């Protein structure tokens, strides 16, 4: 037997087997790598397709700037009147620059943050997280405007407010830290909405006034606040709302005897078109009560008491010829507002306040407005002079020229 031939055949057979085995491995590796690459490409495409709808960031907000000129006449009891005049660029009472940062994560989460510069300091209007749990159900947590009445939450922005100044007395209950639930559902041909919250609440000051407690609660109680509204007309042109609030306001360990506050209110919003005019009527009434407490006079440290209740109300009407033929005419809007605010008599800050505002607005577009407002008000003191209050009457006349825009 030719051993050389046998060795050569064995060598060739070994080389062939080795080559075939490695070719199979290479083919399998190629198949695996190709499938992996296809899967990675599909995932990348899926992420690219879903990213815009899953996460979105937006900056909006508002800005208000203007000029105000004021003449104030104060007539103390038994003394001559004192008159002062001021004028200010920037509209010191209504200047505001408030960018709003919105971040939507998915279809259910929304983060809102609105810082605000008012000419002297930087604050925060609200900072909260909303979760859209289901149709008609939104859960909110953080720092937000309490659902009491319609002005603070829906009308206070300069480009929405028809006249330059805010109505006096609507600042409470303001904003607070807590959780809330809001939404709305159909009710036959009508609609209804709800907005409720549980927050830290308010704090009773030594003179009987109320202010927000802040992020650290001043007691173990929490404040419940809510608003229910009904839209009885099918086109939602009329809205009627009622509001309520209840909570403890005493500092833990203070001398106040389980002090608490109760607030209730009603509001109305009505829009009616009578060609060529569009009528818009708004109003709000609210009442604030604090249960009976003993206060200390700052003049001699003696104890006294008063009926701690306040009443605030405003009624407003505006008329705009929206279908008039002339561009200038249809962009004009005439507005009038009456404000009443009564604070507790016999307190150190008691007064009866009345204000009338008349304004002419020019709408550059639906969110940009130039406002001219003339306001006059009268305040009659009902304060306890022996406790340190100031008696007399104050008359004030103001002229506003204001520019407001929603960014």
- Residue 86 lies inside a defined structural domain of this protein: yes
**Is 117 a member of any domain?**
no
Predicted confidence at residue 327, as pLDDT, reads 86
Give pLDDT, residue 25. 45
Q: How far is CA 178 from the centre of its chain?
A: 14
For residue 30, report the phi and psi dihedrals to the nearest 5 degrees: -65, -40
CA distances 315 to 270, 337, 338, 346, Å, are 12, 6, 5, 27
- Residue 6, pLDDT above cutoff 80: no
> Residue 399's beta-bridge partner residues?
69, 374
Res 107 pLDDT > 80: yes
Q: Say what the pTM is.
A: 0.82
Q: At residue 330, does pLDDT exceed 60? A: yes
Contact between 371 and 404 under an 8 Å Cβ cutoff? The reply is: yes
Quick check: 234 and 189 in contact, CB under 8 A? yes
Per-residue confidence (pLDDT) for residue 30, from 0 to 100:
41
Please report whether residue 333 resides in a domain: yes
Predicted confidence (pLDDT) per residue in 235-262, tens digit: 899 999 999 999 999 998 887 878 999 9
pLDDT at 29: 40
Q: How confident is the model at residue 74 (pLDDT cuts 50, 70, 90)?
A: very high
Residue 286 lies in a domain: yes
CA proximity to 109, closest of 50, 182, 146, 56: 56
Is there a contact between 223 and 201 (Cβ–Cβ < 8 Å)? Answer: yes
Domain range spanning residue 157?
55-97+149-406
In angstroms, the CA 288 to CA 286 distance is 7
Tens digits of residue pLDDT in 364-377: 999 999 999 999 99
Is residue 126 in a domain?
no
The reported pLDDT for the residue numbered 352 is: 97
H or E segment to which residue 45 belongs: helix 3-54
Instruction: Evaluate whether 114 touches 120 at the Cβ level (below 8 Å).
Output: no
21 has pLDDT over 50: no
**263 pLDDT more than 50:** yes
The dihedral through the CA atoms of 165, 171, 175, 179 has a sign that is negative
CB neighbours of 370 closer than 8 A, spacing ≥ 6? 361, 362, 364, 401, 402, 403
> What pLDDT does residue 267 have?
97
The sign of the dihedral angle between the CA atoms of 10, 11, 13, 14 is positive
Residues 355-361, mean pLDDT to the nearest whole number: 97
> How many distinct structural domains can be found in the chain?
1
Per-residue pLDDT band for 7 (boundaries 50, 70, 90) equals very low
Which CATH number covers residue 300? 2.40.160
* Cα dist from 394 to 5, 340, 347, 351, 353, whole Å: 127, 15, 17, 10, 9
Q: What is the pLDDT of residues 33-45, one digit of tens each?
A: 556 566 666 655 5
Residue 94 reports pLDDT greater than 80: no
- Structure confidence by residue, pLDDT tens digits, 167-225: 999 999 999 999 999 999 888 889 999 999 999 999 999 999 999 999 999 888 899 99
pLDDT level of residue 298 (50, 70, 90 thresholds): confident
Name the band, by pLDDT with cuts 50, 70 and 90, for residue 119: confident
What average pLDDT does this structure show over 56-68?
A: 92
**Of residues 296 and 52, more confidently modeled:** 296
**Are the CB atoms for 96 and 54 separated by under 8 Å?**
no
């Amino acid at each position: 037997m030719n051993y050389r031939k046998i060795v050569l055949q064995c060598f060739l057979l070994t080389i062939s087997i080795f080559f075939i085995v490695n070719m199979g491995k290479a083919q399998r590796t190629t198949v695996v790598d190709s499938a992996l690459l296809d899967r990675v490409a599909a995932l990348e495409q899926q992420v690219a397709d879903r990213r815009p709808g899953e996460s979105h960031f937006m900056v909006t907000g508002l800005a208000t700037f203007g000029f105000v000129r004021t003449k104030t006449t104060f007539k103390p009891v038994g003394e001559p009147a004192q008159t002062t005049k001021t004028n200010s660029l920037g509209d010191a009472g209504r200047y505001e620059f408030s960018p709003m940062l919105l971040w939507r994560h998915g279809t259910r989460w929304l983060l809102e943050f609105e810082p605000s510069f008012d000419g002297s300091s930087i604050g925060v209007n609200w900072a909260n997280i909303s979760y859209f749990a289901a149709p008609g159900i939104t859960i909110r947590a953080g720092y937000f405007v309490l659902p009491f009445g319609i002005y603070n939450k829906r009308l206070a922005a300069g480009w929405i407010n028809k006249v330059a100044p805010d109505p006096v007395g609507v600042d409470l209950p303001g904003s607070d830290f807590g959780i809330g639930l809001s939404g709305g559902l159909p009710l036959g041909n009508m609609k209804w909405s709800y907005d409720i919250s549980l927050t830290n609440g308010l704090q009773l000051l030594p003179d009987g006034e109320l202010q927000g407690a802040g992020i650290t609660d001043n007691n173990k109680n929490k404040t419940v606040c809510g608003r229910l509204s009904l839209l009885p007309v099918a086109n939602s042109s009329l809205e009627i709302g009622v509001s309520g609030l209840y909570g403890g306001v005493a500092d833990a360990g203070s001398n106040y005897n389980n002090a608490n506050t109760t607030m209730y209110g009603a509001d109305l919003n009505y829009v009616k078109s009578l060609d060529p005019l569009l009528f818009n009527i708004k109003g709000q009434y609210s009442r604030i009560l604090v249960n009976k407490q003993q206060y200390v006079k700052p003049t001699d440290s003696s104890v006294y008491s008063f009926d701690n209740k306040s009443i605030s109300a405003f009624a407003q009407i505006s008329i705009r010829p929206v279908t008039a033929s002339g561009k200038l005419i249809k962009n004009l809007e005439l507005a009038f507002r009456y404000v009443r605010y009564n604070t507790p008599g016999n307190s150190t800050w008691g007064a009866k306040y009345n204000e009338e505002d008349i304004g002419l607005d020019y709408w550059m577009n639906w969110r940009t407005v130039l406002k001219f407002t003339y306001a006059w008000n009268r305040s009659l003191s009902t304060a306890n002079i022996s406790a340190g209050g100031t008696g007399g009457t104050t008359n004030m006349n103001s002229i506003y020229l204001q520019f407001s825009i929603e960014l």
